[in-house]
Amino acid sequence: MAVYPKVNKNQLLVKRLSYRIFFAVVLFFLSGCSTEKNTVVSRAYNNVTAHYNVYFNGKESLHAGVAKINNSFEDDYSKVLPLFKSSNPTTATAATSDMDNAVMKGSKLIQTHSITKKPKRRKHRSKSYIKFASQEEFNNWVDDAYILMGKAYFYQHNYMSAIENFNYVVRKFEDDPSKYTADIWLIRCYTEMERYVEAYELIQVLQGDEHFPKRLDGELATVTSDYYARQLSYKEGIPFLSIAIKQAGKKEDRLRYTYILAQWYQETGDTEKASKTFRAVTRMNPPYKMAFNAQISAASTFTGTGDADKLKKELRKMLHDKKNLEFRDQIYFAIGNISMKEGNKKQAKEEYTKSASLSSANLYQRALSCLTLAQIYFDELSYKNAQSYYDSAMVVIDEKYPNYQKIADRYHSLTRLTDNIYTVEREDSLQRIAKLDESTRNTLINQWIAQAIEKEAKTKKDEATQLSNQSYFRSNDSRFGLSKQQEGAGWYFYNPTTVAYGKVEFERLWGKRKLEDGWRRADKRNAVEDVTAESEDSVKGNEPVVKKITDTKSRDFYTQNLPVNDSLLTISHTKIKNALFNAGRIFKTEFSDFPRASEALEDLNKRYPDNAFSLASYFELYDLYTKMNNQEKADYYKNLIVTNFPDSKYAKYLLNPNYFIELEAKADSINRMYQKAFLEFKNGQYSKAGQITDQIVTMQPDSALVPKIKFIRMVADGTQTNWGAFANLLTEYINAYPKAEPKPLAEQILKLIQDSTLANYQNLVNIGYLNDKIKNSELLPENAKGTDAFEGKFSYDEDLLHYFVIAYPKDANIDLNRLKFDIANYNIDHYTKVDFDIETQNLNNNTALLLIRSLNDKEQGLIYFRSIIKQRSVFQALKNIKYVNFVASSTNFREITADKNYDEYLKFFVLNYSKFITGDFTDEVLPEPEELMAKAKAEENTLKEKGSFVTITPSTSNADLYTDEETGPQNFVIAVNAPGFNLKPVAASFEAHNRDQYAKENLTIVQKQLDNNQLLIVRPFKTKNEAISYFTKAVATRKLYKSLDTLGYRNFIITDANLKKMNETKRIADYLTFFRAKYIGVETTPANAVKTAPAAYSGPYKQKIDGLQSFLLIVPKEEVNADALAQSIQQYNTQNYPQAALKLTNNMLDDFRIVIKVEGFTSRQMALDYLRAISKDQGVYGPIQNANYRNFIITPENETIFRQGKNILTYMEFYKQFYLAK
């Protein structure tokens, strides 16, 4: 039996009472710590809890995330390093969870510990108390919480949210030092977003603020130097980076900034300071990779004044270090640089060659080594060697490589030149061999075969050695973790270790290659040539296909191209003639190598005295020797031309240097007189028209114009005589000019006379029966010189494409990136379905132009013009700059650029478009842009009696559930895809809008939830047309949607019955399909429209559109999940076209658009049928119906042209004319 101690009841009561008192005190204390009270206790409690609990954890998450970001990014030392690793786009998702946690902690601190209630009012209030009581926030850590969230958003590259948080701190805590921290991070945000004007303004403010904390000097210097670095203004950034280095608290920051400073010195050409600073880096105990690159860079910046031998000795010593095995290409390149500085070019070329041969993984270094060698050989005029190294470089560089276009242009020029040089050498060699007797020829071929066999044996031996080395590497299993147990562990690609090893082996053998057809080829051009050659061979009809022999050990290989008969010899000589002339032209025009050019052309005329290029080559030689100041030789070729080719334009020019100017003036006079004759003819003044044509004939017009002149003369004579004589004149004309443009018209008039139906010839002229046939093509609208105030210089054609143009001084300090960004934002807001191109170009030495292409016609151009010029914020980058803006048709813009002056056009613009050519006007003189856009949209969508209406039939889907009601009540709906978003500001905007614009309609606004969408419903509208009118004006009034700028939302009109059905199905997408068809998808066919023949196409695309076709779907990168879309299309193809060999690819068109391509359509009709079918499939197109996408079909040849220009509008014009119209 257990024995229990006796319990003292008094002690137990005391103990219970003490517990109760303790809990009461704690409860009392906690109730006094509520954020609803502002006492010393509550402030102390919430400050301590916020700091050491919530804020501490959030800050730790931020630090952990920053560490992950820095560890995830590997520096590329071949380029100038960024000051901040987080600037790289790839780091945005490196620490998502940590940054999300930091945002959550900051938000929690604000929600649970923010104290905004004022403290209890004191009877005696000091100044310090009054200042204390007037503040809005009484927790010392709330501002830090906002900065913490701003930083977390910043590292996630959500710069708008970051700016919002930092701006809040600046506004609400303007007397707190945290304001300056927020300002510094605002500078970083603006710099990352390339909003350089705002960044610079803030930098200026902080630098001039006498209260700016000294402890932040280093951070301000760092962000200022980053601001300059982003704009490649390294010279301006160097002083600030020097300050940042001195102020840097962490060793890794100081080390990084010092290395970057050395790079900046190198970029600005201060090689002495660069070398000194790189060497300083090596003494700071940096990581191995940085130390190596600093040492290499220090050698690369050698100026030629130090101890070169010692430096090269150090570098050669590095070659023997196993750790530098993968860096040998850089070491040899550095040694080559030193040799060049010493003036030892031969040694330098050897070192650069070693560097190029060892660069397999480091493609940047391989390109640099090859391009350096290419430049050396080019400077030495060793064109074949230069072309070889340019060719090697072009394999590994892309459009993003510095000076890519310049490199590519030189490469292509050299390739054309060397192709011609090799042609001459090859054909000369073949002719020499062909002339040998058979015995001698066979002996020579036997030698070549022996050399080929020896070379093949050597190649096999080298390959065996390579395989042996591979076996050694594979046998070293422990190095890659490939144990015996792993060998049977499953399929190769399921084992990441073997895949990684395979990648290493592939790159060791082949280097880094893109995944594409013909990836093995060093020169991709050969792939194209091979395919072309095969194609040409395959279409030669019944001619036998001669297969090329490629075996160098075969005798036939060396005899297959020998010109052994007269016809083959003639072909060989023709190739040499063409090649010599082409080479001479390239030497002269593309390389200004006049001696080599004259040598090639002299050789041409010496070898072939009577050749097809004689006259042209003589003139080229005359020009070359004139440029080389060899007057004797120049006169020799001048006399040859004048003597042997006296009637040529070259001879006339040499005898009269003004010949071509006079010829052009004469042609202009003839054109003016012809226009005058045509106008008289059109007005029925046939006698005057005939007299003018007689004068034109005496001026010896161009042969193409003569038949048209004769036609006017003949008609002028015919109308003054009887019908029989007129018929005879027509018959004579038809016989004299059987291929003339007006011949069909002459035949029609003759038939009318023969049928006795030509009662009044003038009537035919008046209705335009003749005009189009006898207009001179040189006098079409773009070239016509009329009788208007501008003498026909500018076109009045309102249907041409128009451009919006801003002209500004070239020397003005304008932030072009900011200007383009603001215009692009305006376009996105007002023209969501239009792709505008924004370009810049120089007009003359003093003026530059910014163009927005293309607006459909004059009307659209004026709407755009009058809308955008009202937006002052769009032109903020041009503040205090003298500029003009206008719109011009494509034809008139060519006139402006040809004149290199816009002054005359501005007079035309003011008379015919608008008087507002600058930003200097009051707000009252122009209607609101929203009003203009609403008016334009209303005109497009209002159902007026303009003809018959065609409604677009919707595709079969759940949209068939809905019914169309013309007269029933309607609702206007905004669907916002953000379940927790506060719609009250939007509702307030629409309530104010309704009071101002629709006071009599008694409209009400209600909110509803539909799945993940919130609905804001404006009701009721009595009819469909009333609802459409409201819809049109609302969507054009952008200020109504200001609070929705960052969210996805849709507007539509819906009846009560359809709204009920939509609530049941919970699928807005289906209703939107119905809405577009029944409310928006209305096309008008103008009544009594006169059909005119389409204008002749003059764009870049090829009109031959039969044969192979591809389907292209272009979607915006940011709005669409391209991989999921491509998968949907692939599934659609598999289900619906199982027998067709369709191939799907998915790649970038540019930085912001993705192309999904389906190829394998053998005809235009097949591709069109596919496009029509797939576009109706909601499984494919449903997810992208709210995105700005384009789809069409295209030939392979036109796709190449399209991808070069990337202008969708240009192709869509072609597509409508040649695909859809047919």
- Whole-angstrom distance, CA of residue 62 vs CA of residue 57: 9
Say which CATH topology domain 672-779 has: 1.25.40
Q: Which residue has the higher pLDDT, 1126 or 755?
A: 1126
Question: In this structure, which CATH number among 3.40.50, 3.90.550, 1.10.3290, 3.30.70 belongs to the domain 1109-1220?
Answer: 3.30.70
Query: Is pTM beyond 0.85 here?
Result: no
Q: What is the pLDDT of residue 123?
A: 63
First-to-last CA distance in the chain?
Answer: 109
Q: What is the pLDDT of residue 379?
A: 93
Region 944-1086: CATH code: 3.30.70
Maximum average pLDDT range among 35-49, 190-204, 1013-1027, 1131-1145: 190-204
pLDDT per position as a tens digit, 472-488: 444 444 333 333 333 33
Instruction: Centre a 10 Å sphere on the Cβ of residue 323 and count the other Cβ atoms it contains.
Output: 10
Q: Comparing C-alpha atoms, which of 1161, 1156, 1158 is closest to residue 1183?
A: 1156
pLDDT per position as a tens digit, 321-346: 888 788 888 888 888 888 888 888 89
Q: Which residue has the higher pLDDT, 494 or 415?
A: 415
- Whole-angstrom distance, CA of residue 551 vs CA of residue 559: 12
Please state the rounded mean pLDDT for residues 1121-1147: 86
Q: What is the pLDDT of residue 1116?
A: 79
Q: Are 254 and 83 in contact (CB under 8 A)?
A: no
List the structure tokens of 180. Answer: 């300056």
Q: What is the pLDDT of residue 1111?
A: 93
> How is the beta sheet containing 847-855 ordered, strand by strand?
837-842, 847-855, 802-809, 884-889
Please state the rounded mean pLDDT for residues 48-62: 81
Q: What is the pLDDT of residue 1180?
A: 82
Beta strands in 692-846 (DSSP E): 802-809, 837-842
DSSP string spanning 1040-1104?
Answer: GGGGGTTS-EEEEEEEHHHHHHHHHHT-HHHHHHHHIIIII-EEEEETTPPP-PPPPP-SSS-S-
Please state the rounded mean pLDDT for residues 302-320: 77
- Whole-angstrom distance, CA of residue 170 vs CA of residue 826: 28
Q: What is the pLDDT of residue 503?
A: 47
Integer-rounded Cα radius of gyration of the chain: 40
Residue 877 CA: distances (Å) to CA of 104, 202, 231, 949: 37, 16, 16, 46
213: left (phi over 0), alpha (psi -120 to 50) or beta: beta
Indicate the pairing of strand 1153-1161 with strand 847-855. Answer: unpaired
Q: What is the pLDDT of residue 1065?
A: 81
Distance of CA 406 to the CA centre of its chain: 18
Q: What is the pLDDT of residue 157?
A: 92
Q: What is the pLDDT of residue 776?
A: 44
Task: Indicate the residue type of 209.
Answer: D
Please state the rounded mean pLDDT for residues 631-644: 93
List the structure tokens of 610. Answer: 């009577």
Q: Of the ranges 166-175, 393-402, 934-943, which one carries the lowest mean pLDDT score?
A: 934-943
Q: Which residue has the higher pLDDT, 155 or 1028?
A: 155
319-436 and 1109-1220: same fold?
no
Say which CATH topology domain 802-926 has: Alpha-Beta Plaits (3.30.70)
Please state the rounded mean pLDDT for residues 588-615: 92
Q: What is the pLDDT of residue 1084?
A: 30
pLDDT band at 1086 (very low <50, low <70, confident <90, very high): very low
- Sketch the domain layout of the chain as residue ranges: 32-117+134-175, 319-436, 566-659, 672-779, 802-926, 944-1086, 1109-1220
How many Cα atoms within 13 Å fall on the side-chain side of residue 237? 28
Please state the rounded mean pLDDT for residues 837-852: 87
Residue 116 CA: distances (Å) to CA of 39, 171, 791: 12, 16, 74
pLDDT per position as a tens digit, 657-714: 887 777 777 777 888 888 888 888 877 788 888 889 888 888 878 767 888 888 888 8
566-659 is a CATH 1.25.40.10 domain: yes
The domain at 319-436 falls in which architecture? Answer: Alpha Horseshoe (1.25)
Q: Are 746 and 730 in contact (CB under 8 A)?
A: yes
Q: What is the pLDDT of residue 1157?
A: 94
Q: Of the ranges 747-751, 956-960, 971-975, 1042-1046, which one carries the lowest mean pLDDT score?
A: 956-960
Q: Could you identify the residue written with the tokens 């109706």? A: 1176
Instruction: Work out the percent of the chain whose per-residue pLDDT is above 70.
Output: 76
- Helices H / strands E in the chain, number of each: 52, 14
Helix 383-396 to helix 363-379 angle (10° resolution) is 160
List the structure tokens of 345. Answer: 């070019």
Q: Are 269 and 57 in contact (CB under 8 A)?
A: no
How many Cα atoms within 13 Å fall on the side-chain side of residue 754? 10
What is the average pLDDT value for the chain, to the nearest integer?
77
- Whole-angstrom distance, CA of residue 413 vs CA of residue 587: 10
Q: What is the pLDDT of residue 626?
A: 92
Q: What is the pLDDT of residue 421?
A: 94
- Whole-angstrom distance, CA of residue 1059 vs CA of residue 1021: 14
Q: What are phi and psi of 471, to 5 degrees?
A: -60, -40
Distance of CA 567 to the CA centre of its chain: 51
Instruction: Centre a 10 Å sphere on the Cβ of residue 216 and count the other Cβ atoms it contains.
Output: 16
pLDDT band at 264 (very low <50, low <70, confident <90, very high): very high
- What is the 3-state secondary structure of 573-608? HHHHHHHHHHHHHHHHHCCCCHHHHHHHHHHHHHHC
Give bridge partners of residue 1067 from the DSSP assignment: none
Indicate the pairing of strand 884-889 with strand 1004-1010. Answer: unpaired
- Whole-angstrom distance, CA of residue 1026 vs CA of residue 1020: 10
